[in-house]
Amino acid sequence: MKDRYILRSDGVKNQLIKLPRKDGEESKTFMVKTSSTTLRRGKWSDGSPFIDLSGGPTITVGKPLEEADNAVVRSIDLTPQLGYTVTFV
pLDDT digits (tens, 9 = 90+) for 56-79: 999 999 999 999 999 999 999 999
Would you state the pLDDT for residue 53? 95
Is the pTM for the entire model greater than 0.85? yes
- Please enumerate, as own/partner, the contacts of 54-59 that have beta carbons within 8 Å and a separation of 24 or more: 54/9, 54/12, 54/14, 55/9, 55/10, 55/11, 55/12, 55/14, 56/7, 56/8, 56/9, 56/10, 56/14, 57/7, 57/8, 57/9, 57/14, 59/32, 59/86
Q: What total number of domains does the chain contain?
A: 1
Query: Is the confidence at residue 86, as pLDDT, over 90?
Result: yes
Query: Is the confidence at residue 1, as pLDDT, over 90?
Result: yes
Query: Is the confidence at residue 30, as pLDDT, over 90?
Result: yes
Give me the domain span that covers residue 44: 4-88
